[in-house]
Structure 1
């Protein structure tokens, strides 16, 4: 009578790993997703966080933060039933309108705004920051709503926020 030798737990795991093959490797975009989730947890935990633009989160449209841009936000409030998220950066005098991911790839030149996506980053203020100092939520995020690009383009063309961000961004080496 022969006795069967059962494989050890380590041998079974190695065989399972070999059987699974490439499927066991993490997806290429999982590191990006994990980074985004960590950043969003920081923001929710009342801490600032730097996130990469593009990917599956959002791109940003940069405008001045003057009266014309603030008037554009009021119009976007009407268009959307409450404007999507907008960050004010008082140090630079800019508004960052969070728009759907991929918007920067379709963006055509605009005289009063620049759209940025990958490989750029943005610092998201903590969710409770609603006033300066530093960047704060001019229009805080509401659920999964972002600012729609086409109505924003039209509204910015109508109000013409000045000064435009083109030259200051280019001076920092930020190009689209």
Structure 2
């Protein structure tokens, strides 16, 4: 966190330790990008947002999850290979993602960038970066 920022408590959907499943579409939608592309996209997003990018989760060596405003994923066009998880993802079942705690052991999940207050990733900025990225 930048030193000129005021500390904000973590969102209520973040467990203090370990990890928990959270239903997408309630507190956030999730954009899932395969690695290593997800790491490149995260680095570009962090640079473009000057460190104010919102929460990003890394799942071992498979996926990067970018958490955007609930209900906003369907407003953007996403490239092939990118999966949007929303409240409408599962027609017969709900979709959940793992959320790591801020402290302690969280394997296989960890924060690439932890949440700061209620701020989420800007979906339009993320979609733009993904559109201009070589796949």
Using the size of structure 2 for normalisation, the TM-score is 0.74
Q: Does 1:157 align with 2:126?
A: no
* Residue in 2 that maps onto 1:173: none
Q: Does 1:124 align with 2:95?
A: no
* Residue in 1 that maps onto 2:23: 52
How far apart, CA to CA, are the structure 2 residues paired with 1:101 and 1:129? Answer: 27
User: Which blocks of at least 5 consecutive residues in structure 1 are unaligned?
Assistant: 1-35, 162-176
- Which one scores higher on RCO, CA 8 angstroms, separation ≥ 6? 2
Change (3 A) 1:147 1:47: same
* Residue in 2 that maps onto 1:86: 56
Using the size of structure 1 for normalisation, the TM-score is 0.59
How far apart, CA to CA, are the structure 2 residues paired with 1:87 and 1:115? Answer: 14
Aligned-partner SS, 1:95 = strand
Change (3 A) 1:160 1:84: farther
Structure 1 consecutive aligned stretches of length 4 or more whose deviation exceeds 3 Å: none
* Residue in 2 that maps onto 1:62: 32
Which structure is higher in helix share?
Answer: 1
Is the Cα–Cα contact under 8 Å of residues 65 and 88 in structure 1 kept in the other structure? no
Change (3 A) 1:84 1:71: same
How far apart, CA to CA, are the structure 2 residues paired with 1:86 and 1:124? Answer: 10
Show the 5 A alignment for 1:10-89. 37=12, 39-40=13-14, 43-44=15-16, 46-55=17-26, 57-66=27-36, 68-82=37-51, 83-89=53-59
Which structure is higher in strand share?
Answer: 2
Note the aligned Cα RMSD (angstroms): 2.3
Q: Deviations over 1:28-73 (max 9, x none)?
A: xxxxxxxx95x54xx12x1311111102x1000000120x332221
